[in-house]
Chain A
Amino acid sequence: MTTTTPAVSPMDLDEKLALYRTQLALRFFEQRAYDMFLENLVKGTSHLSLGQEAIAAGVAAAMKPTDWTFATYRGHAHTLARGVPMTPVLAELLGRSNGLMAGKGGSMHLTSVEHGVMGSYAIIGAHLPIACGAAWSAQFRGTDQVAVCFFGDGSTNIGAFHEALNFAAIWKLPVVFVCENNLWMEYTRTTEVTAVENPAADRASAYGLESIMVDGNDADAVYEVAAAAIARARAGEGPSMIEAKTYRHGGHSRADPGKYRPDSEVAEWLAKDPIPRYHTRLLELGATEDQLVEIERDVVREVDLATEEAKAGGVPGEDLLMKDVWADGGSSWRN
C-alpha cells in the first residue's frame, strides 16, 4: 500500500462547520426516514447509513459540482451530500409524485443527474464498471470530471469489482473507488468469507491502484484522502482506492435488527460515532456551543419541512406508469 498525498489545503473553520452540518443532515434525515418506516409511511425496504455519515460528507466536500457520484442501494446519504434537497429524496421513499424520480425508483435507486448523482445501484458491484465508463467519457472528452464510486465491503468479492479495478488501472481512468468497510457484509462478518484482511485496499494494490486506508468515522481524515485521490484523478494520474473503516449503527436493511453482532462491538463503535467526535473537535477548534446548537436546530427545521412537503406529495398517476422506457418518453414496442 502506498500513499503519495498531494498537498490538500486544509479546511477552515467555516468549511468544517459546513461539514458538520452535512453529517447532521444525513443523520437526522435517516432517523426521520426510519421513524416513518415504523409508521408504515415508507414502503418497501431501505438501507440506512447511520454511523457512516463521515464518509459521504467528507468525500462529497472534496468533489466539484461537475464530478459524478455512483452510489449503492445504501445511497440516501450520498445523494443528500451532493446537495440534493431532502424533500424529493424523502418523497421518493414515500412513493410520492414529488419524489426524486416520481416514485419510479425508490429508496435503492436515488438519482439526480443535475447534481451529479449518477445513480444508486442495487446489484452488488455492478456500478464499479459503470463508474469506469463515466470516467472514460471524461477522459475521452478532455473534461476534468472525476467519477467517485461508493460501495460496501461485501462488494469486494464479486467479479465486477475485480473487472472494474483492472479496467480502471489499464486505462488510467479518473475514478476514485471508496469502500465503506462496515465490517459486516449483510449478516456475515466480511473477514470470515474474504481471503485478505482489508478487502478493498489489499486487492486494489494488487491491481496497481493507489490504495489508501482511512478512519471512516473521521470526516476530516476522509476529506483529506478523498481530496488527494480526486486531485490525482483530475490530474490524469489514474484511479485510487480508499478503504474507509466504519460501522453501521443499525442492521443491513429495514428488516434487520442486526442482532448477529456482539454487543461489545456495537458499543465500541457507538463510542466512535463520527458526529459527537466531530462536535468535540469543532469546540476544540474554537467553535462555540451556540453555533453548533444553531446548526442542529437548522437541520431539524429542514428535516421537519421536508417531512411535511413529502407527506403532502401526491400519489403518482397512471400517466407515469408507461412513460420513459425509451428516449422518446414512451414504452411502445410495436407499431
Chain B
Amino acid sequence: MAQLTFREAIARGIAQEMRRDESVVFLGEDIGAAGGVFKGTVGLLEEFGGVRVRDTPISEQAILGAAMGAAMTGLKPIAEIMFADFFAVCWDIVVNEIAKSRYMTNGQMTFPLVIRSGNGGGLRFGAQHSQSVENWAMMVPGLKVVVPSTPEDVIGLMAASIRDPDPVIFLEAKALYSTKTDVPDGEIVDTLGTAKVLRSGSNATLVALGAMVPKALKAAEELAGQGIDCTVVDVRSLVPLDTQTLLREISATGRLFTVEENPRLCGWGGELSSIVSEEIFYDLDGPIVRITTPHIPLPAADALEDMAIPSVERIVTTVSKSMNS
C-alpha cells in the first residue's frame, strides 16, 4: 500500500500494461521527454524507450489516425489528446473512422486502442481548455467511455481499457490530478461497465462521475448532518453503462440526483433519467433532479468558474430543497 496521486496513477497504469504486453505503444504531444504537460506520464520514456513511447507533433488527426492504423494491424496503442477540448480538431478520426469502421466492415477490423485525455474544468483555463466532453463521446455508437475518479480506479480502469478489444475514450478529470489516496501494491485490473456504490443511504441516490464524485461524497456527508441519508454511486463507465447497479440503487431510495460536470444539454444524466423513467418510474418518490454545469462555455475567472461547475454547496442545497419540498 502506498500513497499515490491521480497523475502518478496514470503512469503506473500505463507502465503496468506496457510491461505485460509488448504490443502496447504510447504516443502523444509532450508525453515522452517532458513526462506530459500534467506530469501524468513521467518515467515511461525512460523505462520503455523512444520506440514505444513517442512524442508527436501538434497534429491531433495524425496522432489518432496513427493509433487507428496501428490498432487495425496488431498494435495496442494508447494515444493522448492533451486537453479533451482538442477532440474537436480530430473528431472525424474518432467518430467517423475509429467508431464506425468495425461495423461498416462487417467485423473485419478490430480497434484495441485507448485515447486518454485531460477533461473538465476547475483549473481556471478558460473555455477552450476546460470543457467536460463525456457527453460528446457517449453519444457515438462504437466508443466506450471511461471516467475514473480515484487513483486506484485510474490504474484498474486503464488496465481494463488497454486490454479491451474496442476503442476506449479514457477521460481524466484534470481537477483530480493532484488528489492522493492509498493504492494497493501489485497489479490492479478492474472491469469496464461497472459502477461503484461508494456510500449507502436510504433517502436519496446521488449519481456522479469523475471530478463530481468526491463532491457528491462530501455533499452526502453534509446532508447526513441534516438528516438526509444518501447513497452515492460513481458511474465510472458511461459506455458500457452499468444500469443494473444504477437502477437498483435508485429504486432503493426512490430519488435520483445526477451530478454532472458536462454542460446541461444532452448530458449523461439526461440519458440516465430517460432510462429511469422508462424502467423504474413507479419506484420513484419524487422528481429526478439534474445538477449540472449550466449550458454555457466555462469562464476563466476563479469566482465565475466556481459558480458554474457543481459545487458541494450547490449539491447540498439542491438535494436538501428538493427532499424537503
Contact = CB atoms under 8 A, between A and B. Distances in A.
A325 B66 contact: no
A320 B101 CA distance: 15
A163 B240 contact: no
A327 B72 CA distance: 12
B51 interface: yes
A123 interface: yes
A137 B67 CA distance: 9
Given A68-B73, A129-B93, A333-B239, A105 B57 contact: no
Interface string B196-209: 00000000000000
B62 A126 contact: no
Interface string A214-245: 00000000000000000000000000000000
B25 A140 contact: yes
Contacts of A160: 61-62, 65, 92
B65 A130 contact: yes
Interface in B65-86: 65-75, 77
A323 B109 CA distance: 13
A166 B101 contact: no
Interface string B78-112: 00000000000000110011000111111111101
B126 interface: no
Contacts of B241: 333-335
A38 interface: no
B273 interface: no
A278 interface: no
Contacts of A320: 106
A129 B65 contact: yes
B69 A135 contact: yes
B16 interface: no
B51 A326 contact: no
A150 interface: no
B74 A132 contact: no
Nearest to B241: A334
Contacts of A335: 193, 240-244
Interface in B233-285: 239-244, 275
Contacts of B51: 140
Nearest to B73: A137
Interface residues of B, number: 49
Interface in A25-70: 68
Interface in A104-146: 104-105, 109, 111-113, 118-119, 121, 123, 126-138, 140-141
Interface in A74-88: none
A91 interface: no
A119 B65 CA distance: 13
Contacts of A68: 73
B95 to A, nearest CB: 10
Contacts of A100: 106
Contact of B69 (A133, A325, A333): A133
A159 B64 CA distance: 14
A130 B103 CA distance: 17
B297 interface: no
B96 to A, nearest CB: 5
Contacts of A332: 240
B240 A331 contact: no
B108 A326 contact: no
Contacts of B103: 104, 324-325
B165 A121 contact: no
A282 to B, nearest CB: 36
B66 A133 contact: yes
Nearest to B57: A166
A79 B224 CA distance: 65
B128 interface: no
Contacts of A166: 57, 59, 62
Residue of A68, A171, A324 with highest tally of chain B CB at under 10 A: A324
B30 interface: no
A147 interface: yes
B66 A111 contact: no
Given A113-B108, A325-B142, A130 B69 contact: yes
Residue of A100, A129, A164 with highest tally of chain B CB at under 10 A: A129
A101 interface: yes
B119 to A, nearest CB: 20
Nearest to A331: B141
A327 B102 contact: yes
A216 to B, nearest CB: 25
Nearest to B56: A167
Contact of B73 (A127, A134, A163, A325): A134
B109 A111 contact: yes
Interface in B120-163: 141-142
Contacts of B243: 334-335
A102 interface: yes
Given A130-B93, A327-B112, 9 more contacts: A104-B104, A111-B105, A113-B108, A129-B68, A130-B68, A170-B57, A332-B240, A335-B241, A335-B244
10 contacts: A111-B105, A130-B97, A133-B70, A134-B69, A141-B75, A160-B62, A167-B66, A325-B102, A329-B107, A333-B239
Interface of A: 68, 100-102, 104-105, 109, 111-113, 118-119, 121, 123, 126-138, 140-141, 147, 159-160, 163-164, 166-167, 170-171, 320, 323-329, 331-335
Interface of B: 25, 51, 54, 56-57, 59, 61-75, 77, 92-93, 96-97, 101-110, 112, 141-142, 165-166, 193, 239-244, 275
